[in-house]
Amino acid sequence: IIRPLTLLIAVSVFLSGSFIPLRMKELAEPLWGLSENVILGLPVSAEMLFTGMAAVLAGSLIDSRGWRSAFLLGTVFYAAGLYFSYQAQGALTFIGARSIAGAGYGFTIMALRGFVNSRTSEKEKAEGFSSYISGLYAGFIIGVAVGAMLADRIGFARVFLVSLAFCLLAGVLIM
């Protein structure tokens, strides 16, 4: 189950990986006297910052409530971040939406690692981490390529809705 689950989450995350700065360029406005290049990178920077912070917090949640709770919480955060990314009308709202999405991604990715780590035998853990990594890489490759093609056909904002569908599918799979 870990490979398809990781694949779904990774595809969802990386569908927008090829165009976040381009979407920001559509929404860009002067912010705090920063250069345009810095402003275009803020959504990705905020997303990665919140991914890292959530990953740290997810460890505590996994220890106290288990990996499933962390995964479901992450799915809710990530889905909300995707929806808000779709709805964003300005630079600050887009940065905020990507921050929420990053937090959700941090929780889900650590929860998946927690799931693999909860296996009892070393052989199961080794197989699980191999499946986890293969799902992550496959999702990265598929997500970036398909996301770029979709963005060209349906627009940047609508790709977030496709990403949301993959995220919700992963949540349903866990339930």
Q: What is the pLDDT along the chain (175 residues), one digit of tens a residue?
A: 889 999 999 999 999 988 898 899 888 777 888 888 888 989 999 999 999 999 999 999 999 999 999 999 999 999 999 999 999 999 999 999 999 999 999 999 999 999 998 888 899 889 999 999 999 999 999 999 999 999 999 999 999 999 999 999 988 888 7
d(CA 167, CA 12): 6
| 121-129 contacts, C-beta under 8 A, 24 or more apart | 128/2
Nearest-CA neighbor of 13 among 166, 155, 148? 166
d(CA 48, CA 149): 24
**Distances from the Cα of 148 to the Cα of 13, 89, 160, angstroms:** 13, 21, 12
